[in-house]
Structures are given as structure tokens and as C-alpha cells.
């Protein structure tokens, strides 16, 4: 499995989003996909976690069962025995628990960055404590670098209050985003500057777009305790650059050791060359991708043609 691509002579890490390699052999967020990418030699992977009704942490993206499993209805309406009786869509494999993923990774002898993407909207104190306990075997493995990522800044603040040593990653898209897609999400309004942002500053144009972006971006980054990683939607990055604002350089002016990840780069969608040029220009550190195998084949290696 490729670990990185070279963009303008700079090594950019590939993160295996939802444990997907692009081989098409295994469903997302599954134990079989986890085994494939780890045994294949990936260096950075990510999986999503949510809670069942009985408090069990599972590898699951949506708040409902429908899209990912053979079940129907809210994820929190089922308990572990019923959840394990389901099958992941397109396979005969049962869905995975966080405990199963932890048990597999805790003994890993290879260097690996593990991003646990926390999808729960609001964590109760007891749930946050149970989550931290569940991660302890991963964090005890010196070969693993464990990062908890989230859109919910309030969850990140809670976790950091409980465990200041926890590495966290922030995605500001709940507050500031590019107006892409037709699905309902936060923020709900395209503001006067052309961004999804419900903040009053965007009700009308009070200032140049760049000044607006600098103010909003700094406020969002400073709303969270010290964090190690920043996740930016690729469309937001491109729109901000077009408006004269480089969010990567700005974030690093506040925290120079910050790892910046851009998501989710699909090697088959239109505009790939435009995105790659932008990522190379701003010097991102990591790319989130569902098909790293294909992306690595399309990016020319140093001194050679693309595959």
C-alpha cells in the first residue's frame, strides 16, 4: 500500500479514509479493510466511531443503520447483539466494534498513525470517559500515534479537559465551509461572502473577503485547546485561495508544527490536477482519500511519468 505521494518534491502522506484502499475488496470501517491496509503497509488510517444504545462503541459513520448495514433505523436504537447480527452492505461481514479494532491494532509492531474520527454529535461525561478508556490500549502502543478528530469542537474541548495529553484534530466545517453538495448540514446559510457560515459577520459585506476569512478562521482555530491536526475540505481550500486567503499558511502562522490534511480527494472526479496543484502550492501534509492505490498511480513519481 502506498504511504505517500510526491507533490513538487514534497512528501505528502496518504490517509486511508474509512480504512479504504481502493481495491474494492472490503466494506468501509470493517475489520477486513483494517487488516488489508495495515498488512499492506499503510502508514496513516482513519475510521469512524459512534455509540450503540447500550453504550458500545462501534465503527460506524452515520447516525442510522440503513446506508452501511442490512439494518434500518437509528444506530442508538440497537444494542450489541442485534448490531452484530447485521451485515455490512455488499458483504457477509458483521459490523465491527471499536474494541475489536483496538485489539487488532494494540499489538501492531509497525509505525502507524491512527485517526479515530468521532462522529457522535454530543458526548455525555460518562460517554467521554468510556471513550478514553477504550483508546488506552492503542495509546499504550509506542508504535502507534493516535489522534481523535472531530467536527464537534465541544467534544474536543471535553476530551482535552479530561485528558490534556490526548492528541486531537479539528475540522471547522460545522462553522465555515464551501457551499458544495445538496445535502442538509451545518452551516445552513450561504453568506454574503459566498461561504457556508451562519455567523453574524457574514450577514452582509462589512469588509474584504480576505479580512473576513482571516477573522473567522482565527476565531475558529482558537476555540479549541492546542490541537495537532487540521482537516480542510478541498473545495473550501480552493475557494479560499481564489479569494486571496491561504488557510494552510495562516494556520501555521499560529501553530507551526500543525499537520494539515485536505479531504476527500477522489482520483476519479473532475479537477484532480487543479486540486493537486493547489495542495502542492500550499504545502499540505496529508491527503484523505478513499482510493489511495489509484491516487498514487496517477501522481507522477519524482523523475517519472504517472501510472
For residue range 165-214, list pLDDT tens digits in order: 999 999 999 999 999 988 889 999 999 999 999 999 999 999 999 999 99
Cβ burial, residue 14 (10 Å; 0-12/13-18/19+): buried
Nearest C-alpha neighbor of 36 from the set 47, 26, 49: 26
pTM of the model: 0.97
Q: Rounded CA gap, 29 and 62, in Å?
A: 11
Strands 259-263 and 229-233: parallel
Residue 306 falls inside a structural domain: no
The per-residue DSSP string of 151-198 comes to S-HHHHHHHHHH-TT--EEE-GGGTSB----SS--SS--B-TTSSB--
Q: How many residues does the chain have?
A: 307
Virtual torsion, Cα 152, 157, 163, 167, nearest 10 deg: 60
Q: Rounded CA gap, 122 and 230, in Å?
A: 20
- Asked whether the predicted pLDDT for residue 302 surpasses 90, the reply is no
Range of the domain at 123: 4-298
- Asked whether the predicted pLDDT for residue 305 surpasses 80, the reply is no
Residue 261 has φ and ψ, to the nearest 5°, of -115, 140
Residues contacting 189, CB < 8 A, separation 6+: 196, 197, 198, 202
CATH code of the domain containing 72: 3.20.20.190
The per-residue DSSP string of 224-288 comes to SSS-SEEEEEHHHHHHHHHTT--HHHHHHHH-TT-EEEEE---TTSTTHHHHHHHHHHHT-SEEE
- Asked whether the predicted pLDDT for residue 303 surpasses 90, the reply is no
Virtual torsion, Cα 85, 120, 165, 111, nearest 10 deg: 50
Residue 305 falls inside a structural domain: no
Strands 286-289 and 10-16: parallel
- The total number of structural domains that make up the chain: 1
Residue 304 falls inside a structural domain: no
For residue range 41-73, what is the model confidence (pLDDT) as tens digits? 999 999 999 999 999 999 999 999 999 999 999
pLDDT, residue 183, reads 84
Residues paired with residue 148 on neighbouring β-strands, in sequence order: 116, 168
Across the chain, what does the average pLDDT equal? Answer: 96
Residue 303 falls inside a structural domain: no
Residue 307 falls inside a structural domain: no
User: In this prediction, what percent of the chain has a pLDDT beyond 90?
Assistant: 95
pLDDT, residue 300, reads 76
User: How much is the average pLDDT of 236-261?
Assistant: 97
Long-range contacts of 242-249 (CB under 8 A, 24+ apart): 243/193, 243/194, 243/209, 243/210, 243/213, 244/209, 244/210, 245/209, 245/210, 245/213, 245/214, 245/217, 246/282, 247/213, 247/217, 248/282, 248/283, 248/284, 249/282
Cβ burial, residue 100 (10 Å; 0-12/13-18/19+): middle
Amino acid at each position: 500500500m502506498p504511504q505517500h505521494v510526491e507533490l513538487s518534491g514534497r512528501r505528502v502522506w496518504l490517509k486511508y479514509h474509512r480504512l479504504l484502499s481502493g481495491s474494492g475488496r472490503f466494506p468501509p470501517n470493517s475489520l477486513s479493510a483494517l487488516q488489508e491496509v495495515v498488512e499492506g503497509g499503510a502508514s496513516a488510517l482513519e475510521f469512524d466511531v459512534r455509540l450503540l444504545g447500550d453504550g458500545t462503541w462501534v465503527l460506524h459513520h452515520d447516525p442510522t443503520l440503513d446506508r452501511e448495514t442490512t439494518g434500518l433505523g437509528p444506530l442508538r436504537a440497537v444494542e450489541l447483539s442485534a448490531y452484530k447480527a447485521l451485515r455490512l452492505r455488499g458483504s457477509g461481514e458483521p459490523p465491527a466494534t471499536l474494541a475489536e479494532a483496538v485489539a487488532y491494532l494494540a499489538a501492531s509492531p509497525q509505525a502507524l498513525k491512527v485517526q479515530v474520527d468521532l462522529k457522535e454529535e454530543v458526548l455525555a461525561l460518562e460517554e467521554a470517559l468510556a471513550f478514553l478508556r477504550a483508546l488506552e490500549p492503542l495509546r499504550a502502543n509506542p508504535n502507534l500515534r493516535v489522534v481523535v478528530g472531530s467536527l464537534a469542537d465541544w467534544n474536543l474541548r471535553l476530551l482535552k479537559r479530561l485528558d490534556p495529553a490526548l492528541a486531537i484534530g479539528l475540522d471547522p466545517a460545522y462553522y465555515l465551509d464551501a457551499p458544495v453538495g445538496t445535502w442538509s448540514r451545518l452551516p445552513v446559510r450561504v453568506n454574503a461572502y459566498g461561504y457556508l457560515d451562519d455567523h453574524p459577520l457574514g450577514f452582509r459585506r462589512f469588509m474584504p473577503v480576505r479580512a473576513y476569512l482571516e477573522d473567522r478562521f482565527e476565531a475558529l482555530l482558537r476555540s479549541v485547546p492546542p490541537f495537532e491536526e487540521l482537516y480542510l475540505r478541498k473545495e473550501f481550500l480552493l475557494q479560499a485561495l481564489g479569494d486571496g486567503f491561504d488557510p494552510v499558511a495562516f494556520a501555521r502562522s499560529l501553530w507551526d508544527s500543525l499537520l494539515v490534511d485536505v479531504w476527500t480527494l477522489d482520483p476519479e472526479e473532475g479537477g484532480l490536477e487543479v486540486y493537486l496543484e493547489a495542495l502542492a502550492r500550499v504545502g499540505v501534509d496529508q491527503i484523505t482519500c478513499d482510493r489511495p492505490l489509484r491516487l498514487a498511480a496517477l501522481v507522477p513519481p519524482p523523475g517519472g511519468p504517472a501510472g
